[in-house]
Amino acid sequence: MMTGIVAGLAVAGMAVNYSPGRPYVRAVSAVAAGTGNITPSLPSYADNDILLLFVQSGNETVTAPSGGWTAAPDSPQGIGTPGAAGASGISVFWLRASGTVSAPTVTDPGDHVAGFIASIAGCIDTGSPFAGSAGTTVGSSGTALSMPSVSPSVDRCLIVHAVGTSNNGSATNILNVAVANANLAEITRLNSSQFTNGNSGAIAAWAGFARNSGATGATTGTLNRTVDTQSLLTLALKPPVTKTPFLAGFSAVQAGSGALSVSPPPTHAQDDLLLLIVETANEAITTPSGGWAIAPSSPQGIGTAGSTGATRLSIFWKIASSSEGNVTVADSGDHQIARMVALGSVDVSNPFDVSAGDTASTSTSASFPSATTTGANRLILWSLSRDNDAIDGTVTLGSYGGASVPLIYELFDDNTQINNGGGIVAAIGEKYEAGSVGTMTATLSATGVQARITLAINPAP
């Protein structure tokens, strides 16, 4: 597995939904379609990833490819006269990756076939990866999309929706639509494609995070045009057995020259670790009321308070109660910018394992301080502040690497031009074994002074 930054974007070929301690989509291939056999390309994968092969047909029998591929629970789903206009079917096959995997060939079922592959990392590493499934079909013409609810048997599942529809020869990307489900976080479209081969069809998949077991409810949207039939399948993929802390969510960014009101992440829950990350022009921030405390190795600051060339990084923490309201960040002077992060499955009595902090003078190179964890399955959070006068939203960090952590996920990268300006960045990763985190490095897009803090978070006992 390669160390690097993981972007939370819903595009083919890029990882999405990544967080330590739960399944995520590592990569997605392009769609292959035709009236004969197809061989979808393999996306990037690692040993023990679950490879999901999504296949659409005209409701004709799709045979599992050779090489160990197996039909997923409740697959296939299909409706309409096989091979006729207006028929649709969706099949999903799975394989646990081990060593070198060959791209599978899907045998021509008759009229047409289309498919693509997604690699799912972070699942349970033995046995069946599924914690629940559900399928249905729609045989009436319309544009309403309602993907079936599933009831995963465990918490922290990745929910994957697969859809195949008829197409009636349209070139419109029928399934390139946004969908919603209040019970799922970070819903992202993995792929969508329409094709006019044979009697034509369309295929798509979405993934979202279900924090808790139990019914997810339907995930809904509106198709871009009317179709005759829909075939729908929902799968829940199990997380690893060890409950590593995981990202439960983060708030919207707040910035201003006066006091700020920062809301908790909408997906937080009782007993989450809440981290309030604040940047100022190296001016002190009063610890907020309501049970907040200063985090280890915080604050870190450099430069003359309130002046250009100054930044201070402050991190405050608390264990979430059953009802958390907005927190007030007092006016420090020149400016302040802040976000709140929620982490689940944390040791509420002792959330922090180890920490480190430092500062750096003007440079485009960032080198986060290392720390040595005392146990396995720690979530590592890196945070950096800088005296940044860039336009709001300008990306200031990139080219992550160097730490002994398999994947690093950037949570946010925010800047403000208010008065002297500043910015904050946070990233997370998982340290599987006790030992040195290593020095995580990054490159800034412009020079600036920096304050940096590394925190290792203990998992729930």
Rounded Cα distance between 123 and 119, Å, is 11
Cα angle 49-51-52, degrees, rounded to a multiple of 5: 140
39 and 104 Cβ atoms separated by less than 8 Å: yes
Rounded Cα distance between 110 and 78, Å, is 14
pTM: 0.79
CA distances for 340 relative to 272, 273, 315, angstroms: 12, 10, 9
Cα angle 350-351-357, degrees, rounded to a multiple of 5: 115
Rounded Cα distance between 427 and 411, Å, is 5
Q: Given this model, what pLDDT does residue 50 score? A: 98
Q: Is 377 left (phi over 0), alpha (psi -120 to 50) or beta?
A: left
Q: Which two structure tokens, joined as six digits, stand for 21? A: 């301690």
Rounded Cα distance between 461 and 442, Å, is 33
Per-residue pLDDT of the chain (461 residues; tens, 9 = 90+): 222 333 332 223 334 556 677 899 999 999 999 999 999 999 999 999 999 999 999 999 999 999 999 999 999 999 999 999 999 999 999 999 999 999 999 999 999 999 999 999 989 999 999 999 999 999 998 999 999 999 999 999 999 999 999 986 666 788 989 999 999 988 999 999 998 889 999 999 999 999 999 999 999 999 999 999 999 999 999 998 877 898 888 899 999 999 999 999 988 999 999 999 999 999 999 999 999 999 999 999 999 999 999 999 999 999 999 999 999 999 999 999 999 999 999 999 999 999 999 999 988 889 999 999 999 889 999 999 999 755 444 556 666 777 888 778 888 888 899 999 999 999 998 888 899 999 998 888 888 899 999 999 999 99
393 and 409 Cβ atoms separated by less than 8 Å: no
* Identity of residue 257: S
431 and 33 Cβ atoms separated by less than 8 Å: no
User: What DSSP designation does 38 have?
Assistant: B
181 — phi, psi (to 5°)?
-160, 115
Rounded Cα distance between 113 and 333, Å, is 63
Q: Dihedral of CA 190/193/198/200: which sign?
A: positive
Strand stretches in 251-351, DSSP E? 254-256, 260-262, 273-280, 293-294, 300-302, 311-319, 327-329, 336-344
DSSP class per residue in 64-76: PPTTT-EEPTT--
CA distances for 221 relative to 145, 163, 167, 218, 330, angstroms: 5, 12, 17, 10, 41
Cα angle 143-145-147, degrees, rounded to a multiple of 5: 165
Rounded Cα distance between 64 and 23, Å, is 24
Residue extents of the structural domains in the chain: 5-237, 246-457
Q: Which residue has the tokens 């945070």?
A: 383
Q: Which residue has the tokens 């029998």?
A: 61
CA distances for 228 relative to 79, 247, 335, 426, angstroms: 10, 40, 56, 46
DSSP class per residue in 285-304: -PPPSSS-EEPTT--EEESS
Rounded Cα distance between 268 and 366, Å, is 30
Q: Which residue has the tokens 């039939």?
A: 229
Strand stretches in 97-153, DSSP E? 113-121, 130-138, 142-147
Element (H, E) at 120: strand 113-121
Q: Which residues contact 68 (CB under 8 A, 6 or more apart)?
A: 95
Pairing of strands 408-416, 5-6: parallel
Q: Given this model, what pLDDT does residue 291 score? A: 96
Q: Which residue has the tokens 């440079």?
A: 363
- Greatest alpha-carbon span in the chain: 75
Q: Which residue has the tokens 């950096």?
A: 384
Rounded Cα distance between 39 and 103, Å, is 6
Half-sphere CA count of 109, side-chain side, radius 13 A: 26
Rounded Cα distance between 368 and 243, Å, is 26
